[in-house]
A and B are shown apart, each in its own frame.
Chain A
Amino acid sequence: GAGVSQSPSNKVTEKGKDVELRCDPISGHTALYWYRQSLGQGLEFLIYFQGNSAPDKSGLPSDRFSAERTGGSVSTLTIQRTQQEDSAVYLCASRGEISGANVLTFGAGSRLTVL
């Protein structure tokens, strides 16, 4: 697609429920990133994919968080047994190049609210 698409844009869930967040990157971008942004804060790195593999998943906060990517395209971030502290905006980005350097194009984010 023309840009990075994320869904849902907003998700309200009850504590203890599982949620899935989806990211559809720019066509042809092989690398895909997930970040988390709490209210008024910077971006917290979660995980990135190169193709379908995840060379760096060091930012996942706990084993309740997992992510997968299939077909080198769409990625899903799953949060199991959600907690109130999981409330944040989850941003996805795919990576292109400008003059040989990595540059990220972000989606608009998925705002998660855990009640």
Chain B
Amino acid sequence: SQQGEEDPQALSIQEGENATMNCSYKTSINNLQWYRQNSGRGLVHLILIRSNEREKHSGRLRVTLDTSKKSSSLLITASRAADTASYFCATDNQGGKLIFGQGTELSVKP
């Protein structure tokens, strides 16, 4: 299985701090994506990084990818209470399906 593994499973921080979540995967990929899920809702796409990219930014989000270690990290800078959600990585191996990790539950306290 190519399912990603994420750590930590849960993360609790104060507003204004940075949050870092990690994702590891098992096989080669075409790209890796991060999604966010608010409680009781569907997932929303945040950012995508291709296998030939090492770092990508989008607003307060920074994603890195290390294909030699088969790992990625998502950094949320200057976190806000509204960032409280579960965050999932998903790998696309060109086979058509995206495989999701178990997720990191982020709690940002005001």
Q: Is B95 an interface residue (CB 8 A)?
A: yes
Number of A interface residues at 8 Å Cβ cutoff, please give it: 25
Question: Are B33 and A55 touching (Cβ within 8 A)?
Answer: no
A40 CB to nearest B CB, Å? 8
Inter-chain contacts of A42 with B (CB < 8 A): 3, 88, 100-103
* Chain A stretch 32-68: residues in CB contact (< 8 A) with chain B: 33, 35, 41-43, 45, 48, 50, 55-56
Roughly how many angstroms separate A107 CA and B69 CA in the complex, as a whole number?
33
Question: Are A33 and B31 touching (Cβ within 8 A)?
Answer: no
Question: Are A105 and B97 touching (Cβ within 8 A)?
Answer: no
A109 CB to nearest B CB, Å? 6
- The tally of CB-CB contacts under 8 A between chains A and B is 60
Q: Is A103 an interface residue (CB 8 A)?
A: yes
Roughly how many angstroms separate A103 CA and B33 CA in the complex, as a whole number?
8
Do A31 and B98 form a contact, CB below 8 Å, given A4-B42, A91-B43, A106-B42? Answer: no
Q: Is B26 an interface residue (CB 8 A)?
A: no
Question: Are B102 and A102 touching (Cβ within 8 A)?
Answer: no
